[in-house]
Amino acid sequence: MSRRRGRWRRTGADTKAWPLERWAQLLQRIHALSPEALLVLRGSREEVPMLQQIQAATALEGVVVAGETLRDLFALCEGAHSMVSVDTGPAHAAAALSVPLVVLYPAEDWLRWRPRSPSGSQVLPVAGSGRIDQIPVDAVFDAWCSLARTPQRSAATPG
């Protein structure tokens, strides 16, 4: 989250921002399918207030905000069932650690920038038409469900 991200969000120029309400809806749908799962929201220090807004909007006890460091991210990835992310560094880190992953892209350029997994774990792109905010919750949830139907790593925590 760069210093410009807040200004981009206010002016509508942020092509990698998915509305907070959609994140909350996605988490509610994942929770309905896997009520025992702990859903972890993770971001940079600057993103914590936004993540707390998403957490509050879900009104679910099983949604938590955790960690701010790369070490925290890697530890979460080690135990994660899967991850949903916009196209950012943490998505690439998760793929490198073989976490099955759904990545939101602002456009169809995902073939060039798609995170790669050394073990071949799934990395599913969901692309908008130039903006991530055009991607519906159903498309992301359906992609995540397809990860849930494939053999996973040992842990059972969506993240």
Show the domains of the chain with their CATH numbers. Answer: 15-149 (3.40.50.2000)
Q: Is this model's pTM higher than 0.85 or not?
A: no
pLDDT at 13 over 80: no
Q: Pick from 33, 60, 32: which is nearest to 41 by CA?
A: 60
CA Rg value for the chain: 15
pLDDT at 158: 42
pLDDT at 9: 53
Residue 52 pLDDT class (50, 70, 90 cuts):
very high
Least trusted range by pLDDT, from 7-11, 31-35, 56-60:
7-11
76-133 pLDDT tens trace: 999 999 999 998 888 989 999 999 999 998 876 666 667 767 777 888 889 888 889 9
Q: Which residue has the tokens 């055009």?
A: 134
Other CB atoms closer than 10 Å to residue 112's CB: what's the count?
6
Burial of 18 (C-beta count, 10 Å sphere; 0-12/13-18/19+): buried
